[in-house]
Structure 1
Amino acid sequence: MRVTLLGTGDTTGTPTVGCDCDTCEAARERGVERTRFSVHVENGRIGESLLIDFSPDFRYQFLRDEVPLPDAAVITHVHFDHLDGLGNAFRVFDSLSVYAADETDPETGTSVAETVRSDYHYLDPIDVHPTTPFEPVRVCGFDVTLVPVDHPPLVCYGVVVEDPVTGAKLSLTGDTSYDVPDRSRETLADPDLLLADAIVPADLCEYHPIGGRHEGPDGVPRTFGTKHMTREGALALADELGADRTRLVHLAHYYPAEEAFAEPLAIDGEQYVLD
């Protein structure tokens, strides 16, 4: 299993358009970036690959990192930075299977799968597969499982990708607060690689209109507002899940420049081989 981090940024990415903050300037000087979120998972045994979330930066990411076009995709939720790149399928794919949760979202009255099918009804190559959370499906030779997480007000899902031959396991938290349900934690547990949402460091919670949530024993917030984990929350979750290796993703440009590129914060283009 070869994992390529195509996009490791939040909604605006780093550098952010029109921003001259120290972190964005440092990214430009270093020649690094964090485009909108997307992860490519390649199964070398069968020559197929899976894309997790369709970033609006899809075209640029695939040209830049030269990974194979995916044979299938998973959509975790319907926020634009995880979904709107699907329009790039036009004239690029002959066929593409897209897996998304079949649970009805109380906020929208539709499931993620229904939203994808409705919003991209004009894309003939797209074949949407409604998928039940916690029930693995075989995709590109991997066992892929959607797990509910906590990203109010919309439903959102983490993803587990396991190789049934080698036993390699990749877990993605999805966009989530620290309040991941216990059953989802059990499914995400013990990965070889964990990709964890960590939008900002915990000390920035004081600047959020509603502050932080889910404080640890040390009083440090593990959730920024209600929707995303802090760096400290993501690392606490990684420890609880027993992750062998952790990379923090969905990162905002609000990290101070002196911390923004320190371990274990990821940048675009990183690759990992899980055996």
Structure 2
Amino acid sequence: MQVTLLGTGDTTGTPTVGCDCATCERARDRGVERTRFSVHVERVNGDSLLIDFSPDFRQQFLRESVPLPDAAVVTHVHFDHLDGLGNVYRLVDSLPVYAADETDPQTGTSVVGTIRDRYHYLDRISVRGRTPFQRFEAAGFEVTLVPVVHPPLVSYGLRVDDPDSGASLAISGDTSYAIDENAREVLRGADLALVEGIVHADLCSHHPAGGDHYDDAGRPRTFGTKHMTLTGARALADDLAADRYRIVHTAHFVPPEQAFRDDVAVDGQRFELAGAKR
């Protein structure tokens, strides 16, 4: 299984348009980017799965030269994870798009219902609802969606397993640290874990909602109510006990001495996951 990080940034990306902060300048100097979130997963036979449709879809696929997906999964309906879906029109003959079918009390519909309503005109897309914790097949992979905590909207993490090689990928999705044990158990023990960490813990003091889920040293693991700090991301990665992990969905507010550490991902990183063949 090959995993390509197409987009590793938050809603504005890094460098952020019009920003001359030290982190954006360091990214420009290094020639690296964190565009809006998306992950491409490819099997040995060439079948591929896309996780989330970044608004930067076109740029990402041209830059990384990965094949167009045979199927896709959407984790939640925030624009930076969904609004690239329109890019596939005229590029594919057909594309199954999977998303959770649970009703969101905030919107009165599900993620899959929102996608159907918003992209009803894309006749080459077939939108398919799936129930969290129930494994399903997509592009030859076995996929399991799990609820995470990203108020006020429902949001999901997921696990992707390759049934041939036994390789596995876990993605936390956009979430606070308050992921329950049932979801963590599904995500645990993967070859690679991608965990969301939007800012450093010190920034919580400037957020109206502060931080939450403090560790033993008093460092907040949740920024506000719906994202993890770098501290929280590392703590979750430790709990999930993956062979490797990377922090994703990181904002330009992280100072450069922290923003470019080895475990904080940038676009274009690739991982070959061998797994243990069943």
TM-score, structure 1 normalization: 0.99
Q: Identity across aligned pairs (percent)? A: 66
Dislocated runs of 4+, deviation >2 Å: none
2:36 paired residue number: 36
Distance in 2, Cα, partners of 1:157 & 1:3: 19
1:239 paired residue number: 238
Determine if the alignment matches structure 1 residue 94 to structure 2 residue 90.
no
Deviation at 1:265, TM superposition (A): 0.3
2:259 paired residue number: 260
In structure 2, the residue corresponding to 1:73 is in which secondary structure?
strand
2:2 paired residue number: 2
Superposition map of 1:102-141 within 5 A: 102-141=101-140
Deviation at 1:236, TM superposition (A): 0.6
Distance in 2, Cα, partners of 1:163 & 1:91: 29
1:209 paired residue number: 208
Deviation at 1:217, TM superposition (A): 1.4
Distance in 2, Cα, partners of 1:7 & 1:234: 17
1:220 paired residue number: 219
Distance in 1, Cα, partners of 2:238 & 2:261: 18
Deviation at 1:257, TM superposition (A): 1.5
Q: Deviation string for 1:69-114 (max 9, x for gaps)?
A: 0010000000000000001122111100000000000000000000
The number of residues matched between the two structures is 274
Distance in 2, Cα, partners of 1:7 & 1:32: 11
Q: Deviation string for 1:182-222 (max 9, x for gaps)?
A: 10001000011000000011111111111100001111100
Report the AA paired with residue 234 of structure 1: A
Distance in 2, Cα, partners of 1:148 & 1:248: 19
Structure 2, unaligned runs of 5 or more? none
In structure 2, the residue corresponding to 1:146 is in which secondary structure?
strand
Report the AA paired with residue 22 of structure 1: A
Distance in 1, Cα, partners of 2:245 & 2:206: 27
2:157 paired residue number: 158
TM-score, structure 2 normalization: 0.97
Q: Deviation string for 1:126-172 (max 9, x for gaps)?
A: 00010100001111111001000000000000010011122111000
1:189 paired residue number: 188
Report the AA paired with residue 237 of structure 1: L
Distance in 2, Cα, partners of 1:114 & 1:34: 29
Structure 1, unaligned runs of 5 or more? none
In structure 1, the residue corresponding to 2:83 is in which secondary structure?
helix
Q: Deviation string for 1:209-253 (max 9, x for gaps)?
A: 111000011111000001100001111111111111010000000
CA root-mean-square deviation: 0.7
In structure 2, the residue corresponding to 1:214 is in which secondary structure?
strand
Distance in 1, Cα, partners of 2:39 & 2:185: 22
Distance in 1, Cα, partners of 2:91 & 2:30: 32
In structure 1, the residue corresponding to 2:257 is in which secondary structure?
coil
In structure 2, the residue corresponding to 1:223 is in which secondary structure?
strand
Report the AA paired with residue 63 of structure 1: L
In structure 2, the residue corresponding to 1:14 is in which secondary structure?
coil
